[in-house]
Amino acid sequence: MKYEWVDEYLMKKAGVTRDLQKDWNWMRYQIGGKMFAAICMDWNGKPYYITLKLEPLEGDFLRRQYEDIIPGYYMNKTHWNSVKADGNVPDDLLKDLLDKSYRIVLGGLSKKKQKEILETAKKDDPISCCGADCAACYCYGEMCQGCNAVCGRVFHAPEGKECPIYDCCRLQNSFSSCGECGKLPCELILGTRDPSLSEEEFMQTVSDRVKRLKG
């Protein structure tokens, strides 16, 4: 398969599980028990399609643009699409489509379930949704246990409320991190400058955060 990175990329997403559907020989990737992607394999274990979910208009548009994207193989043809595993769809585009499929299926779950999945999956990760390394902060372990552990209610957020970045990322958009947002780095992140840092030093921290999220 051309896209050898797919399994690792999907398993890094918050709350994702996978299983092998033996009757079809598909490796299924699920969030909250709902499939959002699958690697369809032949009986020799060779992948031939990567199947994912998209909004109908976008799926129809992409199928017109790329001959290697077809209506969902053995799936609902309106909502599902299959990408040829050895086709010519750019890697960056496929990553974007997998991200969208994840968000569509996650967004179909109840708000309570979405929050539970995102918070539980990231609880012990010191890298916050905005890319900041909480473990490098002088407050970590003392004043604060980290953004993920406290569900965004960090010491510098408004009392009793989530950090605005966490609220936007996890609660409003159901992203696992800001790395899934096309606006990164956004005004919210650029508005968090530590006054003790120069403009140059601050922009370097922003660059470091983006690299962590995109890397």
What pLDDT band is residue 193 in, cutting at 50, 70 and 90? Answer: confident
116-128 pLDDT per residue, tens: 887 776 777 888 8
Lowest mean pLDDT of 17-31, 139-153, 159-173, name the range: 139-153
Distance CA 174, CA 59 (A): 21
Q: Mean pLDDT in the chain?
A: 90
What average pLDDT does this structure show over 44-57? 96
The residues that bridge with 133 in the sheet, in sequence order, are 127
Domain range for residue 197? Answer: 122-214
Q: What is the CATH number of the domain that holds 50?
A: 3.90.1150.30
User: Quick check: 15 pLDDT over 90?
Assistant: no
Q: Is residue 115 assigned to a domain?
A: no
Q: Is residue 16 domain-shared with residue 43, that is, in the same domain?
A: yes
Highest mean pLDDT among 66-75, 175-184, 194-203 belongs to 66-75
Q: Is residue 101 domain-shared with residue 126, that is, in the same domain?
A: no
